[in-house]
Structure 1
Amino acid sequence: MSESHRSADELKRLVGEYAVDHFVKSGMKVGLGTGTTAVHAVRRISERIAAGRLIDILVVPTSMQTRQLCQELLLPVRSMNDPDIDAELDIAIDGADAVDPQLALIKGGGAAHLTEKIVEYAAREFVVIVDESKLVDQLGTSVAIPLEVIPEARTTVIRRAAALGGQAVLRPAQSKIGPVITENGNMVLDVRFPDGLPIAAAELERELNSIPGVVENGLFTRPVTAVVVGMRTGQVEVKTPS
C-alpha cells in the first residue's frame, strides 16, 4: 500500500506505537485511554515489556474495555486509589475526537470521559494520539461536546446548555433500546455550538461543570505534553504547546 493511502487503522497504530516508543520509560505509572487509537498504545506497551525494553510498569485503565485488554495482555493493572499509584501518574496516553490549534481537546466519543479526565488530569505528562482528521479550526461546531449527566438533570442541563448557545441531544445507544448509559450509570448529552464556543474553551469547561447534574464534560483544556498526529502520508507530526 502506498504511503498516500494509509488506512485509518494504520494511522492509529502508527501514533499509538510512536507515543509509547518515545514517551514511556521503565518505572513509569501510565494512564491508558479508551478507544480504537488507545488500544494500539496498550498493545505496544505489552510488546515492549515482553521484549524486555520496559520494566516496572504499572497501568491505570480508563474504562472496562481498556481494563479487559490490559488484563488479557497480563499488564499490571492498578486503580487511582491503589497505594502504589496514590492518585498520581507519570504519563497518560489517549486519543481525542477533536483537537484545536491551541491543543484543547474534545473527548468522550466512547462515553468514558469522566474516568479519562480523572486519570489524565492526574498525570504529569499527557500525550494525545490522533490522525490528522481530528484536527479542527474550532471546537464544538462539527464535533459535539459530551456531558455526562445524572438522569434526573437531563432537561435542566439541556435548557442551561441552550442558554449558552448550545444544542444538546441525548445520545442514543447503538445495541440496545434507549439512551447510552455510562459505566457510572449516567446519561450522555452531546452539545454542539453552531456559532462556535461562546467563551474560551477553559472557561466553558468550568461553566458546563457548574450546571447542577453535570458530572463531567468532554472539554479537556489542561496543558498537553504533545499531540502525536498521524498524517495520511504515513509520517508522524508532533505538536507541542507554543
Structure 2
Amino acid sequence: MRNPQLAQCRYSFAPQKGHRRVSALVEKAIHERNTTTNTPLDVTAQKLLVAQRSVDTLVQEGVLHAHMSIGLGTGSTAMPAVKRIADHLARGTLSDIAAVPTSFQTALICERYNIPLFSLSSKRVGGKLDVTIDGADEIDTQNFVIKGGGAALLQEKIAAYNSAHFVIIVDETKVVETLGTRAALPIEVVPEARMSVMRTLQDWGLSVHIREAVRKKGPVVTDHGNFILDARWQSLPTRTPQDMERALNALPGVIENGLFTERTVRVFVAHADGSVEERSASF
C-alpha cells in the first residue's frame, strides 16, 4: 500500500559535490549570523543546529561509533540528523553501522545517502539497538515526550524502547511545562476500533478526532495500515503521564500511543540565541 504520509513530506537533501563540508559550513554560517547581528535563529535553523551538534557530540563521546546499530527517527528534526550521520560516514568518523529506520520517509533518505538499512529483526541487529536518535512534538520538564506527529509513532516507540540509549533532539518551541500544551497526542488504532476508542476517550474528558490526510481523501493511514486519533485535554485524566501511556495501550483496538515515558532520555535543545542545552532524566 502506498504510504500517504510520504506524499506530504518534502525535504531537499539531494547530495552535492563536496557535501562532507556542507554541514560544517552551514553551522558556521548560523553561528556567525547569530553572533554578529544578534538575530535570533528561526525554528528551521534551530533544528539544523541541534541535529548537527547532537550527532557530533555523540560521535566525539563514542556513543556513536563503528559497527553499531542505530535507530533513526522521523520528522523535520530527525532528517538533518540522518544527513549528519551520512557526513560522518563519508569522512570516516563512522563506519559499518546498521541503520534501522522508523518510517518509509527515513528509509528513503537513508537510501539516498547510502546509509546501510536493516530491520530491527534482522540477524545483525537482533532486536536490540545501541542508540536511537529522534525528534519530538513536545517535551516537558521531566523529559516525558509526545511524539508521532508524522504518524510513525509505532515504529518510533519500538526503536526507542529497544535501545540502550535514547536521544531526543528538539528546537526550543517543543519544550513545555505540561504535556498537551501545544501538541495533540496521537493514538494509533485499528480502523474497526476507531469509534469505540473515541467514545472511551471522550468519556475520559478528552477532545478527539480522526486525523485527516492532506493529499488524499479520507483519514491518514499509517505505514501499518491503521488510523491516527489526535487527542487533547484540559487536564490529564490520569495521575501521571506514565499512567496515561499505560491506560491508553490497555484499550482494545489501540496499537500504540505517542506518550514516551518509560525510558531514560538524553535531550538536546537548540535555542534562538544559538546555544544548545543538554539534559537527561531517569524515570
Q: TM-score, with normalisation over the residues of structure 1?
A: 0.96
Q: Which deviates more from structure 2 when the two are superposed, residues 151-160 or residues 18-27?
A: 18-27
Q: In angstroms, what is the RMSD of aligned CA positions? A: 1.2
Partner of 1:165: 205
Residue 82 of structure 1 aligns to a residue whose secondary structure is coil
Contact kept? 2:161, 2:263, Cα under 8 Å: no
Partner of 1:13: 48
- 1:234 maps to amino acid: G
Larger Rg: 2
Partner of 1:181: 221
Deviation at 1:25, TM superposition (A): 2.0
- 1:205 maps to amino acid: E
- CA displacement 1:132-168 (0-9 Å, x = unmatched): 1001111124311100111111110011112222111
- Identify if the C-alpha distance between structure 1 residues 104 and 44 changes in structure 2 by more than 3 Å, giving closer, same or farther: same
Matched, 1:22 2:57: yes
Q: Distance in 1 between matches of 2:176 and 2:244?
A: 18
Q: Distance in 2 between matches of 1:209 and 1:191?
A: 14
Which 4+ residue blocks in structure 1 deviate beyond 4 angstroms?
none
Q: Distance in 2 between matches of 1:226 and 1:135?
A: 14
Contact kept? 1:106, 1:145, Cα under 8 Å: yes
Contact kept? 1:150, 1:213, Cα under 8 Å: yes
Identify unmatched segments of 5+ residues in structure 1.
none
1:155 to 177, 184, 195: 195
Partner of 2:86: 46
Q: Distance in 2 between matches of 1:107 and 1:197?
A: 19
Deviation at 1:18, TM superposition (A): 1.7
Contact kept? 1:162, 1:168, Cα under 8 Å: yes
Q: Distance in 1 between matches of 2:270 and 2:136?
A: 13
- CA displacement 1:95-120 (0-9 Å, x = unmatched): 00000111000000000000000111
Deviation at 1:58, TM superposition (A): 1.1
Q: Distance in 1 between matches of 2:269 and 2:182?
A: 19
Deviation at 1:228, TM superposition (A): 0.3
Partner of 1:133: 173
Matched, 1:32 2:67: no
Q: Distance in 2 between matches of 1:7 and 1:132?
A: 10
> Whose helix fraction is larger, Structure 1's or Structure 2's?
2
Partner of 1:146: 186
Q: Which deviates more from structure 2 when the two are superposed, residues 116-125 or residues 18-27?
A: 18-27
- 2:51 maps to amino acid: G
1:121 to 161, 164, 172: 161
Q: Distance in 1 between matches of 2:209 and 2:216?
A: 18
Contact kept? 1:62, 1:112, Cα under 8 Å: yes
Residues 192-203 of structure 1: matches in 2 within 5 Å? Answer: 192-203=232-243
Deviation at 1:197, TM superposition (A): 4.5
Partner of 2:118: 78
Count, aligned residues: 242
Contact kept? 1:34, 1:65, Cα under 8 Å: yes
Partner of 1:238: 278
Q: Distance in 2 between matches of 1:223 and 1:63?
A: 21
2:131 to 91, 103, 120: 91
Partner of 2:3: none
Residue 269 of structure 2 aligns to a residue whose secondary structure is strand
Percentage of identical aligned residues = 43
Partner of 1:104: 144
